[in-house]
């Protein structure tokens, strides 16, 4: 699965190329919760908000909270350093 497109949308400023898929997924697993990672996978697959809520059994409030946390974590320097191919 390619995370590159969705990560470019969610991370405000990428300054280095991303790791290859397998290494990137391992880095994301280390930095994100299971719920955040599942949400990221579904977003990468272009799933709708409704289908995400059904798939993950979230209500709108929980989905919004987890998405906010996901974006916040992805924009942290420690996370960016973990996913960069440097």
CA dihedral over 67, 9, 32, 15, signed as positive or negative: negative
pLDDT at 1 over 70: no
Q: Exposed (0-12), middle (13-18) or buried (19+): which is 11, by Cβ within 10 Å?
A: middle
How many domains, in total, are found in the chain? 1
For residues 46 and 7, give the distance between their C-alpha atoms in angstroms, rounded to a whole number: 12
Average pLDDT, the chain: 93
What secondary structure does DSSP assign to 56-83, as a single string?
HT--HHHHHHHHHHHHHHHTSHHHHHHH
Range of the domain at 43: 4-83
Q: Which two tokens stand for residue 22?
A: 């397998």
Report helix, strand or coil for 3: coil
Evaluate if residue 77 carries a pLDDT over 90. Answer: yes
Position 86 scores a pLDDT of 80
* Residues paired with 18 in a beta bridge: 84
State the pLDDT at residue 15: 84
pTM of the model: 0.89
């Amino acid at each position: 699965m390619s995370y590159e497109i969705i990560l470019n949308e969610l991370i405000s400023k990428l300054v280095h190329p991303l790791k290859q898929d397998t290494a990137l997924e391992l880095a994301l697993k280390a930095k994100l919760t299971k719920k955040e990672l599942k949400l990221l996978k579904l977003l990468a697959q272009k799933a709708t908000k409704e289908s995400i809520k059904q798939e993950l059994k979230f209500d709108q409030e929980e989905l919004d909270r987890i998405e906010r946390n996901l974006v916040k974590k992805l924009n942290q320097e420690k996370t960016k350093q973990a996913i960069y191919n440097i």
